[in-house]
Amino acid sequence: MGGDLPKYVYLLEEGAASMRDLLGGKGAGLAEMTRLGLPVPPGFTITTKACVAYGRKGRFPPGMSAQVEEGLAAIEARAGRTFGDPANPLLVSVRSGAKFSMPGMMDTVLNIGLNDETVRGLADRTGNERFAWDSYRRLIAMFGRIVHDVNGRAFEDILERVKGDRKDADLNPDELKDVVRAFKDLYQTGVARDFPQSPKEQLREAIGAVFRSWNRKRAVDYRTFHKIPHDLGTAANVQAMVFGNMGPDSGTGVAFTRDPSTGAKGIFGEYLANAQGEDVVAGTRNPLKISQLRATHPDLYEQLVRGARLLEEHYRDMQDIEFTVEQGKLWMLQTRAGKRAARAAVAIAVDMARSGLLTEEEAVLRVEPSHVVQLLLPQFDETAKEAARREDRYLATGLNASPGAATGYVVFDPDEAERLGKVEKKPVVLVRVETSPDDVHGILHSKGILTSRGGATSHAAVVTRGLGLPCVAGCEAIHVDYDAGAFTVGDKVVRRGEFLSIDGSTGEVFAGRIPTIDPDYEREEDLQTLLGWADEARRLEVWANADYPRDAIRARAFGAQGIGLCRTEHMFFEMDRLPVVHDMILAAPGYRRVAGQTKILRADLEAAKGERRAELAKRLETLEAQGADLSRRYLGSLEKLGALQREDFTGILRAMDGLPVIIRLIDPPLHEFLPNYESLLVQVTKLSMAREDARLLVRTARSEEDHKFVEEVERAGGGDLAKGVEVLLAKTEFFLEAVRAMREANPMLGLRGCRLGIVFPEITEMQVRAIFEAACRLKRDGVDVQPEIMIPLVGHVNELKVAREALEAVAKRVMEREGVRVAYKFGTMIEIPRAALTADEIARHAEFFSFGTNDLTQTTAGYSRDDAEPKFLLDYVDRGILPFNPFQTIDREGVGQLMRMCVQKGRRVRPDLELGICGEHGGDPDSIAFCHEAGLDYVSCSPFRVPVARLAAAHAKLGSELSRVEDR
Ligand code: PEP
Ligand code: MG
């Protein structure tokens, strides 16, 4: 067709499924069905290229109209009718259809070809005058609205007026003729021209309108949101009309080749007799289940089942089919990959691989990581969630910090959360401004956490992700008032004890209860099968971040191949350990100072003579007495902690028998373990004021917190309030002073990480001693232990050198003492750009690197991980200044570049350097793809994300191109 001019028109017989770019999804599907011999009404597709040309020039490209004429002639020949023939008119539809499905975003015009003459021909041919005039009035309204922007509401008003309280189907032909007359008048007024009587003009205009609909605002917005390129254009499909509304032996329906919620085999969908597609969408009549057709229309049902089976096998995927029955004859109008729930996606992929329709690798690629996330988390019952929305119970949306759904009583106090959750076994949602290590006991017994401040790596987000607890963080729309025991959102108030529901997958917060559905990995047999295939396909190993034996056991059950990060300091936060930790921290600086002074004094003493010697000896004696006290407190508490840590490590190493366990030495700034400075200041002020009159405390107590404080004072004084004031004041002042001395302007860049172990070596030595004692004893019991000691936050090679030398000496001493040798590694985290830049030097002293991408993102971008998200980062993402949140997905150009450089430099010096990632990105599918490309050995993530990471690692290996099942 069309000589040397480009080919813009393809008959359905000429197209194929592979031509989606040119023919769009719908056109390619129609062509493929035609090739398969399925009953498809004759038609042709005008290409997306024609649409792009039309968009550029505002008119059809040269040659296109002639090709359309030829296409039309081909339809006429196949349909045995002629466009505009008053006796036997052909009617056509013009439907949009882009490469990627954009449901409802673009336009369609039906019944083209009807005019004042052909409407009579249609009436005669069908013997159904009512039907003919009804089709004509639909055309005028649709054409007016879509081609010329006439207000659709005005057409409906006319129809309503004529109908009164009757149904559409109750209108007789004469009434419909009145409607047509009124519609034409409305059209004439709106467009300032008569409704076109030329079918060819109708067709031309409809094609132009469909092309223009590609650039309608809603279509542009949809593409921007779904990241669909704007220069693809839509195809226009011109096809002979078939009618489902020609009586009881006609109808229309949609059918899935499997149940889209469970994946169960068998045709599944709905059928509406004597109706057109738009009637199904309008939902005014209740459709039949497709299965009911089996009894009423057995032939039709059989034909449909055969067609569905053919399409599913041909496309090797579950299909979503649209069909129409015209006077007993089945016509297929569309086929595409069907949307499906997570459970169905997994079940279908596994079943298709088992039946040989897909390879196991293809099956792995058919399931999205988000499907796995959904399957393994408690979810809200979607209908209940919708109901909550309708009942105006939606409150706000915060950061979706840790996925899953939770519903429970609102509690603001972690102690109360613990009491209700642990003792009374009630479901609670803990609501805080932000959380801190002091709240962990409450978090552990909550169903979910809501905070009004903090980002994706805030304390609440990290801890809940580790625990697999849902969390909505940084929900700035809510205002928490601890004193009032309530939070507000605009003019809504939610009080302590009321029910609240949070969706950590979406960040939504609702008042009241929404029922949840619980997951069970053990029962997910299809998922386990699929992940087994994923394991065979992937190169990257998947390890887990686990701090406690129970997490390690869970991680292993989910398929973890090692522990990539055990944050030892989390064990310090346990309620019974905190006082010991406090003692250690408070004594540490004094101990170091006195030890240093003692050393100097001893040297001086040796050199001194006479009176000076006596004086120095006296000073030394005083200092040693002081030192003895500090040493008792510091080293004593370290010994206690060492014993506890040994138990912790024993549990984890035993649980991971035969697999590597990376244990990170203490990392956070020490003051994080101490009470908050501001709270201490308030307490000291209150106590000082109460020295004159202790009852003042009682008289001014307002909140629950105030009352608790009064009780604490009383307890401190053994029941005597005034005495309690004195005792507690002395203690709190001491605490305040210690905390003040340790306060830092930028604690994240201060005394933390390896710096702590260098300044206070006794702490990290205690930890290494505990690790090796545990390891040696376990090995003696026959456990295959593989401890790896990780030194955090190294920036300069000398930091690692100094720390490693001291700690390895401790390890060797323990092994000698225990008479056991365990295989071990020493390594470091890469969390500071300088470490990545000098990775070759650092690799000389490390057997492994683990990318701490939380800190590495913070230090590379200069974004505070605690403040950035609520303050500006999410806004940046919203405004498109940043394409995504770099704390959730690795910023390939920045952080990623440093990582690649680090991998290269490190491996150059030490080819067998073990490389992994343990930041939050280790569980993010896009970041996992990057880690695969960058050549890491493993990713480490929270236990609950291990299954997702196994799938994502397989996707990374099998290729991202194939993983995107088209048109989903
Ligand atoms: C990191 O920085 O990525 C990391 C895992 O360490 P943390 O989050 O404990 O600082
Ligand atoms: Mg870190």
* Mean pLDDT, all residues of the chain: 92
pLDDT of residue 285: 63
pLDDT tens figures, 796-807: 999 999 999 999
Beta pairing partners, 600: none
Q: With 60 as the cut, is the pLDDT of residue 5 above it?
A: yes
Among the residue ranges 498-507, 544-553, 957-966, the one predicted with the least confidence is 957-966
Is any ligand 1 atom within 6 A of the Cβ of residue 14? no
108 Cα–ligand 1 center, Å: 53
Is any ligand 1 atom within 6 A of the Cβ of residue 855? yes
**What is the pTM for the complete model shown?**
0.81
Q: With 60 as the cut, is the pLDDT of residue 362 above it?
A: yes
pLDDT of residue 260: 83
Q: With 80 as the cut, is the pLDDT of residue 25 above it?
A: yes
pLDDT of residue 962: 52
Q: Which ligand is nearest to the CA of 918?
A: 1
Is any ligand 1 atom within 6 A of the Cβ of residue 466? no
656 Cα–ligand 2 center, Å: 23
pLDDT of residue 247: 84
Instruction: Give the pLDDT band (50/70/90) at residue 18.
Output: very high
668 Cα–ligand 1 center, Å: 10
Is any ligand 1 atom within 6 A of the Cβ of residue 458? no
Give the number of other CB atoms < 10 A from CB of residue 666: 21
pLDDT of residue 411: 97
What is the chain's Cα-based Rg? 36
The answer to whether the CB of 114 falls within 8 A of the CB of 208 is: no
As to burial, measured by CB atoms within 10 angstroms (0-12 exposed, 13-18 middle, 19+ buried), residue 597 is middle
Q: Which ligand is nearest to the CA of 916?
A: 1
851 Cα–ligand 2 center, Å: 9
As a whole number, mean pLDDT of residues 181-187 equals 97
**Which secondary structure element, helix H or strand E, spans residue 806, and what is its range?**
helix 797-818
Is any ligand 1 atom within 6 A of the Cβ of residue 452? no
As a whole number, mean pLDDT of residues 516-525 equals 86
pLDDT tens figures, 385-435: 999 999 999 999 998 888 889 999 999 999 999 999 987 889 999 999 988
Is any ligand 1 atom within 6 A of the Cβ of residue 667? yes
Instruction: Give the pLDDT band (50/70/90) at residue 282.
Output: low
pLDDT of residue 720: 94
Distance CA 448, CA 431 (A): 9
pLDDT of residue 487: 96
pLDDT of residue 205: 97
Q: With 80 as the cut, is the pLDDT of residue 508 above it?
A: yes
Q: Residue 94, by phi and psi: left (phi above 0), alpha (psi -120 to 50) or beta? A: beta
Distance CA 501, CA 513 (A): 6
Distance CA 490, CA 477 (A): 8
Instruction: Give the pLDDT band (50/70/90) at residue 280.
Output: low
The answer to whether the CB of 88 falls within 8 A of the CB of 113 is: no
Backbone angles phi, psi at 544, to 5 degrees: -130, 155
> Which of 463, 829, 832, 866 has the most ligand 1 atoms within 8 A of CB, as the residue to mutate?
829
User: Which residues carry out catalysis?
Assistant: 459, 918
Q: With 60 as the cut, is the pLDDT of residue 695 above it?
A: yes
As a whole number, mean pLDDT of residues 650-676 equals 94
Instruction: Give the pLDDT band (50/70/90) at residue 279.
Output: low
The answer to whether the CB of 730 falls within 8 A of the CB of 684 is: no
Distance CA 221, CA 242 (A): 33
919 Cα–ligand 2 center, Å: 7
> Which of 543, 547, 793, 918 has the most ligand 1 atoms within 8 A of CB, as the residue to mutate?
918
Share of the chain above pLDDT 70, in %: 97
Is any ligand 1 atom within 6 A of the Cβ of residue 918? yes
As a whole number, mean pLDDT of residues 227-233 equals 90
As a whole number, mean pLDDT of residues 839-857 equals 98
Is any ligand 1 atom within 6 A of the Cβ of residue 854? yes
854 Cα–ligand 1 center, Å: 5
As a whole number, mean pLDDT of residues 603-625 equals 92
The answer to whether the CB of 539 falls within 8 A of the CB of 533 is: no
Instruction: Give the pLDDT band (50/70/90) at residue 326.
Output: very high
Instruction: Give the pLDDT band (50/70/90) at residue 101.
Output: confident
Q: Which residue's CA lies nearest to atom 6 of ligand 1?
A: 852
Q: With 70 as the cut, is the pLDDT of residue 274 above it?
A: yes
pLDDT tens figures, 73-88: 999 999 999 999 999 9
**Dmax of the chain from CA atoms?**
134
pLDDT of residue 555: 95
pLDDT tens figures, 728-746: 999 999 889 989 988 999 9
